[in-house]
């Protein structure tokens, strides 16, 4: 899962308690490009039932890069 920052809501009646949160996920964990990312929005707060949540957002241009790897110190023992 990815952390997503949902910006401010608009159209909320002054004094209503409504919040928005979002979480995003990649369609695969495989390294590559052109990966689908879906952000799902949720409304919260005492007055959330009075509003329609934002449409979920889908992007098809996500990418996952290979993680770097390293080899620690190598010890070679020579026996004669």
H-type alpha helices, the chain: none
Number of structural domains, the chain? 1
Instruction: Give the lowest-confidence range in 6-10, 36-40, 60-64, 65-69.
Output: 6-10
Do residues 36 and 24 lie in contact, with contact meaning Cβ atoms separated by under 8 Å?
A: no
Residue 69 lies in a domain: no
Question: What is the rounded CA–CA span in Å between residue 6 and residue 22?
Answer: 6
Full domain range(s) for residue 34: 2-10+17-64
Question: What is the rounded CA–CA span in Å between residue 38 and residue 70?
Answer: 32
Q: For residue 33, list its beta bridge partners.
A: 63
Residue 45 lies in a domain: yes
Do residues 15 and 29 lie in contact, with contact meaning Cβ atoms separated by under 8 Å?
A: no
pTM of the model: 0.67
Residue 77 lies in a domain: no
| pLDDT > 70 in the chain, percent | 96
């Amino acid at each position: 899962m990815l952390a997503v920052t949902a910006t401010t809501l608009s159209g909320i009646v002054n004094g209503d308690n409504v919040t928005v949160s979002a979480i995003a996920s990649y369609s695969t964990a495989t390294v590559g490009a052109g990966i689908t990312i879906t952000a799902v929005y949720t409304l919260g707060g005492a007055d959330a039932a009075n509003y329609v949540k934002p449409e979920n957002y889908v992007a098809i241009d996500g990418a996952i890069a290979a993680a770097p790897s390293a080899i620690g110190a190598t010890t070679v023992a020579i026996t004669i």
